[in-house]
């Protein structure tokens, strides 16, 4: 009987519940969209790097077709010299101040708050950080 006296309150409550349910049903598709956009961006970056590497390798292949490049590589890699030339090898002594294995400092991870964890869940950051 009291519900009939306050139809505005019932309507507002139902509207609030409906909006909450709509929001909760959109969290999973939103995460999938964010995840797929991240994968597309990383794939584009990888494609750009591979195209640059292909251009560099194609330039190397084109250069190998010349006798000058073949002679240069034979001199650098194999130590070939022309008749009458003398080959010298210069070795650098190890610097006593340099270290072979520099010390690796551990990084400190800050603890996340519950708000950060919720935001990571909504935006899909927890999926990206897990692998």
Position 129 pLDDT exceeds 70: no
What's residue 131's pLDDT? 46
What's the pLDDT tens digit per position in 66-123?
888 888 888 888 888 889 988 887 888 876 555 555 565 666 556 578 888 888 888 8
Helix (H), strand (E), coil (C) string for the chain: CHHHHCHHHHHHHHHHHHHHHHHHHHHHHHHHHHHHHHHHHHHHHHHHHHHHHHHHHHHHHHHCCCHHHHHHHHHHHHCCCCCCCCCCCCCCCCCCCCCCCCCCCCCCCCCCCHHHHHHHHHHCHHHHHHC
Look over the chain and give the mean of its residue pLDDT values, rounded to a whole number.
Answer: 80
């Amino acid at each position: 009987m009291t519900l009939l006296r306050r139809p505005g309150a019932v309507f507002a409550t139902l509207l609030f519940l409906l909006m909450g349910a709509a929001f909760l049903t959109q969290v999973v598709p939103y995460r999938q969209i964010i995840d797929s956009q991240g994968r597309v961006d990383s794939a584009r970056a990888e494609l750009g790097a591979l195209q640059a590497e292909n251009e560099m390798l194609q330039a190397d292949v084109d250069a190998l077709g010349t006798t000058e490049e073949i002679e240069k590589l034979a001199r650098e890699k194999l130590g070939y010299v022309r008749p009458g030339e003398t080959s010298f090898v210069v070795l650098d002594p190890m610097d006593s101040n340099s270290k072979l294995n520099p010390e690796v400092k551990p990084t400190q991870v800050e603890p996340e708050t519950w708000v950060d964890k919720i935001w990571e869940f909504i935006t899909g950051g927890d999926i990206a950080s897990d692998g």
